[in-house]
Amino acid sequence: MRTVLQDRLDDTGDVLGAIRAADRLAHRVPAAHAATVCVAALDPTDGTLTWCSAGHPPPLVVNADFARYLPLSGSGPLGTGADYRLGTDRLEPNDMVLLYSDGIIERPGRGPAAATVELSQVAIDSVARRGLDPALSAAERASTPTLELLVRQSGHTG
């Protein structure tokens, strides 16, 4: 699946085309059926973010002051006959995009609504350097420490 996505993105840069190619593969390969994925591409010249989500949680845009989830852009997992469309948004200079596993939302003792709020708040705190090593870059703070703090609070399902 990753190879198909990477090949299409390298060849054309077309996010929706890459998702559709992965969807066709998921129709033919039983092990890929119902896989979820979110693909995003950023145009660094103007901050335009283009994404497509296939049954996967939406991207989270975060900076030191706020976080917001982008809308879902697909109706279901790959290989299920779902419909996919592109989402677009514009990022500000200090914004970051987090793509994350649905496993970080589906943690023990947390409902999806509470887990999404918790993820966004921990991401904001991480990006703002609250309680973290100040030597880490913003991207480093937004990724590994965020995951570690969430799992430390609730554990994981494995």
Residue 128, SS3?
coil
Give residue 19's identity as a one-letter amino acid code: I
The list of the chain residues with pLDDT below 50 reads none
* Token couple for 119: 């993820």
* CA 105 to chain CA mean position, Å: 12
pTM: 0.87
- Say how many C-beta atoms besides its own lie within 10 A of residue 49's C-beta: 19
What pLDDT sits at residue 154? 60
Give the integer Cα–Cα distance in Å for 153 and 141.
Answer: 17
What pLDDT sits at residue 141? 74
What does the angle CA 128 – CA 133 – CA 137 come to, to the nearest 5 degrees? Answer: 65
What pLDDT sits at residue 63? 92
What pLDDT sits at residue 103? 83
Give the integer Cα–Cα distance in Å for 17 and 128.
Answer: 36
Residue carrying structure tokens 């949680």: 57
What pLDDT sits at residue 130? 67
Cβ atoms of residues 79 and 34 within 8 Å? yes
- Relative orientation angle of helices 15-28 and 2-12, to the nearest 10 degrees: 150
* Domains observed in the chain: 1-99 (3.60.40.10), 100-158 (no CATH)
Give the integer Cα–Cα distance in Å for 62 and 120.
Answer: 8
